[in-house]
Amino acid sequence: MRDTLPLLNELDFPAILRGTLQVLQVNLTYLCNQRCLHCHVNAGPTRTEAMSDEVIEALFAVIDAHPVKTLDLTGGAPEMHPRFRDIVCHARAADLQVIDRCNLTILSEPGFEDLARFLAENEVQVSASLPCYSRDNVDKQRGDGVFERSIAGLQQLNALGYGQTGSGLELNLVYNPQGPSLPPPQRALEADYKQHLLEDFGVRFNSLHTITNQPIARFGSTLVSKGQFNDYMQLLRDNYSEANVPGLMCRSQVSVDWQGYLYDCDFNQMLDLPAPLVARERSHLRDLLAARLEGRPIATRDHCFACTAGQGSSCGGALD
């Protein structure tokens, strides 16, 4: 399902160019055990898209031959892909850092009871969604009972060493605003999260990453239905900061969809805006073995203002 929401003039956002490729962000599947209101992928329990063995072999070829440093696994719930563990083990054997974008509730799903231990044994960095430290706010955005299961998942990860000083097991949380607003300052919100989660649940974590909601897919449709789309776009444009442009994740990252096609970011993937890396219409994983990315243009539209507004936004949190 591709995004058909109204977007403003594509020429409004400044042209940007690629730097050195450091991160492969791979969308393994749109299948997910949750259906969150802010999800820009429209993931859910009924989605069937999943990366094939053929594309996974192409991914392994890139991992083995390209000097990329990080493999960032996302979805849907990436852990629901039947070869998730094979991919993690291959990347770790190649000495890549691996990030698992985990929704936490997957850790308590039947058949995934040993997932947390697998992640710890392979020193996978966990980037976990927790849009608030309040039960009501989380359940409103992500479904009834999600907060309780998320806290249980965090406690399970903590027990294995995640988020603990000196363990080497990194646990980061991800915050998204509830509605059409910019995230609050990341450092202050991180301090609040750490205080509340430790005092109320004994939970520790390394860092909080604040991410601005993109005006696309499920969240964009919600904005349109409430008559808030144009106001939200104007908010993003009014808060544009040129200082955030050098740190944009698209300059050092490539997003790979479940079919192996390349995009400048996960958001462009949902808008079907292919990365202009080669002469033909679409670039594929195999092209990374020969293509030179530095200095190549990045496909932009007005949704890109979400990454440059205010303190900036990336999969690794604020840019300032």
What pLDDT does 44 receive? 83
Q: How do residues 269-315 score in pLDDT, each as one tens digit?
A: 989 999 988 767 789 999 998 888 899 999 999 899 999 999 999 98
Closest to 205 in 3D by CA, of 244, 268, 154: 154
Closest to 75 in 3D by CA, of 65, 83, 63, 67: 83
What pLDDT does 42 receive? 67
CB 100 within 8 A of CB 79: yes
Q: How confident is the model at residue 11 (pLDDT cuts 50, 70, 90)?
A: low
What pLDDT does 40 receive? 60
Q: Are strands 23-27 and 262-263 parallel, antiparallel or unpaired?
A: unpaired
Q: How confident is the model at residue 1 (pLDDT cuts 50, 70, 90)?
A: very low
What pLDDT does 83 receive? 98
- Strands across the sheet with 97-102, in order? 207-210, 171-175, 125-129, 97-102, 70-74, 23-27, 253-256, 262-263
What pLDDT does 156 receive? 97
Is the pLDDT confidence value at 2 over 50? no
CA–CA distance, 219 with 271 (Å, rounded to integer): 13
As beta bridge partners, residue 254 has: 24
What pLDDT does 3 receive? 44
Q: How do residues 46-105 score in pLDDT, each as one tens digit?
A: 899 999 999 999 999 999 999 999 999 998 899 999 999 999 999 999 999 999 999 999
The per-residue pLDDT of the chain, averaged, comes to 90
- The three-point CA angle 165-170-172 to 5° equals 110
Give backbone dihedrals phi and psi of 79, rounded to 5 degrees, phi first.
-65, -15
What pLDDT does 257 receive? 96
Q: How do residues 194-219 score in pLDDT, each as one tens digit?
A: 999 999 999 999 999 999 999 987 78
CB 138 within 8 A of CB 116: no
Q: What is the dihedral of CA 98, 104, 105, 108, to 10 degrees?
A: 70
Q: How confident is the model at residue 9 (pLDDT cuts 50, 70, 90)?
A: very low
Q: How confident is the model at residue 121 (pLDDT cuts 50, 70, 90)?
A: very high
What pLDDT does 145 receive? 80
Q: How confident is the model at residue 8 (pLDDT cuts 50, 70, 90)?
A: very low
Prediction pTM value? 0.91
Instruction: Name the residue ranges covered by the structural domains of the chain.
Output: 10-308
CATH number of 10-308: 3.20.20.70
Q: What is the dihedral of CA 136, 234, 268, 274, to 10 degrees?
A: 170
Amino acid identity at 74: T
Please give the C-alpha separations between residue 320 and each of 103, 248, 300, 310, 317, in angstroms, as whole numbers: 26, 11, 21, 9, 9
